[in-house]
Amino acid sequence: MSLTYPIAFLIVAISVLISIYISFYFRKHTRTTAAFYVAEGKIPWRINGMAMFGDYCSAASFLGVAGAISLMGVDGWWLALGFFATWMAVLFLVAAPLKNAGKFTVGDVLGARFGHSKGIRTVSMLTTIVLCSLYLVPQIVGAGHLFKLLLGWEYLTTVIVSGVLITALVVLGGMRGTTFNQAVQGVVLLGAMLILLISATIIYFDGNILNIIKTAKKMVPTVVAAKQIPDVVKSAPSAEAAVEAARQALPDAPSALTPGVGLRDFWNHLSLVLGLFIGVLGLPHILIRFYTVRDAKAAQKSIEFTIWGLAIFYTSVLFVGLAIMFSLYPVLVDLVATGKKGIATNMAVPMLGQKIGGELFLGIIAAGALAAMLSTCTGLLITATTSIAHDLYASIFKPHSPDEERVSFAKKAVFVLAGISIALAIWLKNQNVGMLVGMTFGIAASTFAPALILTVWWPRLTKQGVVWGMATGLVVSLIFTFARFFGLKSFLGLPVLVNPALYSVPAAFIVFIIASLMTKDVGEVEKFMALAHRKK
């Protein structure tokens, strides 16, 4: 088997090695450096802020959003706005009470209020496993396409190889120094996105970022052109000519800045934005990052650092996506027209890198994308490991087992979980990774998110309310997620939407509330509320 882009592949491999090296170096450095400086808290908050950013920006943000924009124009940006806003929803609604209570994972919070309930533990563990394995899918789909592009192998081969390698890397080595790794990966992926933005602006838009907007107003969105006039675009001599030709052929078509191109209808849109908005509240691996640093000041600084990073990143993504549509117009139209939407939507970003700076740039961008996948996979797998070791093995299987045994069991279980994710990734190869992540958000929004919000704010919530509410949310959201994967148009008389949230979120909330009102076990509500809402 020959490599299509050996240099780019080499850059990716080196970047992985460097990030492993740095994480090692830092851990050792904090112990053995001879210098003792009183720059209190400075390094931890920067590292933590960057790790938070790296953990949060997954393949969906790096590849999926810009890819979606390059195909349907500004509608694709919705994913980015959702990813951005939901992060703040977490901050405002639960961050402070959780910090006060000293609990950072959903399981801990529920445990603090309701004690050791087998029912809650079991539902939490199942939800964690479902969320982690489904959230892994888009990362692996992204990796599969990426290595297919770099190596020229079949998608099936690359998905299996990269899925197994990522899991092995994370489980066997990467879980050490997670924080440092994620911080380094955060720098790499933000840097890669900015490099793309700056160089694309200079090369294609005379160095003026506003020219991207001007040009976008003229462009017929890729998906529209691919459907109606693929041949016109194909026969154009250059990308610029293709953009012109498409506009001449379809003078009344919407532009890349016209909203509504990528949307089906109001309800689909609402379901997506709802799922995105409260989804992150229920993603177990995000919360934990808020307070890895010790003192409040450092925590605040790292949050501020992250919000700026996210704002810059998600705004840049809009411009990069539009720049991709312009510079790769004929290629993207051709890919979509010939049914290779999966490649177009997920690989648009690395393809722009290649066009701008050849194999070298392709390598840098691919390294950024892989950094996004790795940092997120690390966060997810470490959460899954904790949950399996803690909630499954220690609480249900073998309560008196030593730590080592629990961790080793959990590591094996994580491989099984990754295997399921790889199988799903093979099946779902033509989905946009951003939309896949959106679905995971929808499931989280129907399970952990209401559990967390209600535990923290509603004294009347009961143990049974949590168990039944989460179970309902999980089942309903899974049914509609898989109905979507199987391509069903409707299920039980309800139309299947792009995201399960519109059905599962209200269903979950209703069951949480009704089951709570019908039962009495509110847990240690006074103690918990007093801790979570104390005066500082």
Partner 1 sequence: MGFRKMLVAVDGYEPSLGAFKKAVELARDYQAEVVVLQVEEEVPLLPTEKMMEAVEPPITEEPLELAKAYAQLMNVPVKVVKKTGPVAGAILATAKEENVELILLGDSGRKGFQKLYFGSVAQAVSENADRPVLIIKRGWVDISDLKELAKQIVEKPEAIEIPVYDPRLVYENLKFSGTLFLVLTCLYFFAAIITSKPLKDVAALEIAGLPFGIWCGLILVVSGIFLTRIYLSKQGGES
Whichever of 33 and 490 has its CB closer to partner 1, that residue is 33
Amino acid at 174: G
Report the residue from 8, 12, 47, 166 that binds partner 1 according to the rule CB under 8 A. 47
Which one of the spans 126-134, 298-306, 359-367, 463-471 is the region binding partner 1 (CB under 8 A)?
Answer: 298-306
Query: Taking the complex as a whole, how short is the minimal distance between the CB of residue 291 and partner 1, in angstroms?
Result: 9
Which residues have C-beta within 8 Å of that of residue 291, sequence separation ≥ 6?
98, 99, 104, 299
Longest Cα separation, the chain: 73
The yes or no reply on residue 209 touching partner 1 (CB under 8 A) is no
Report the residue from 165, 300, 460, 520 that binds partner 1 according to the rule CB under 8 A. 300
- H/E stretch holding 491: strand 490-491
Tokens representing residue 20 in the block: 């492993």
**Cα-trace Rg, the chain:** 23
User: Total residues at the site for partner 1 (CB under 8 A)?
Assistant: 87
Query: Taking the complex as a whole, how short is the minimal distance between the CB of residue 256 and partner 1, in angstroms?
Result: 10
Which one of the spans 196-204, 222-230, 378-386, 431-439 is the region binding partner 1 (CB under 8 A)?
Answer: 378-386
Residues 515 to 534: which contact partner 1 by CB under 8 A? 526-527, 529-531, 533-534
Which residues have C-beta within 8 Å of that of residue 46, sequence separation ≥ 6?
183, 302, 305
Query: Taking the complex as a whole, how short is the minimal distance between the CB of residue 61 and partner 1, in angstroms?
Result: 14
Residues 430 to 469: which contact partner 1 by CB under 8 A? 457, 459
CB 76 within 8 A of CB 70: yes
The yes or no reply on residue 218 touching partner 1 (CB under 8 A) is no
Which one of the spans 118-126, 138-146, 227-235, 313-321 is the region binding partner 1 (CB under 8 A)?
Answer: 313-321
The yes or no reply on residue 509 touching partner 1 (CB under 8 A) is no
Report the residue from 194, 360, 407, 420 that binds partner 1 according to the rule CB under 8 A. 407
Report the residue from 264, 398, 412, 460 that binds partner 1 according to the rule CB under 8 A. 264
Residues 60 to 79: which contact partner 1 by CB under 8 A? 74-75, 77-78
Which one of the spans 6-14, 134-142, 303-311, 366-374 is the region binding partner 1 (CB under 8 A)?
Answer: 303-311
Whichever of 6 and 259 has its CB closer to partner 1, that residue is 259
Residues 118 to 177: which contact partner 1 by CB under 8 A? 175-177
Per-residue b or e along 122-152, where b marks 16 or more CB atoms closer than 10 Å to that residue's CB:
bbbbbbbbbbbbbbbbbbbbbbbbbbbbbbe
The yes or no reply on residue 296 touching partner 1 (CB under 8 A) is yes
Dihedral in degrees, nearest 10, Cα atoms 240, 243, 248, 249: 130
The yes or no reply on residue 258 touching partner 1 (CB under 8 A) is yes
Build a one-symbol-per-residue string for 386-405: x at contacts with partner 1 by CB under 8 A, - elsewhere: x----------------x--
The yes or no reply on residue 535 touching partner 1 (CB under 8 A) is yes
Measured CA distances, 3 to 150, 152, 154, 188, 340 (Å): 7, 6, 12, 24, 21
Task: Write down the H helix ranges in 388-462.
Answer: 403-427, 433-446, 448-457
The yes or no reply on residue 88 touching partner 1 (CB under 8 A) is yes
Measured CA distances, 135 to 58, 92, 235, 383, 422 (Å): 10, 24, 40, 12, 11
Give the separation between CA 127 and CA 470, rounded to whole angstroms.
8
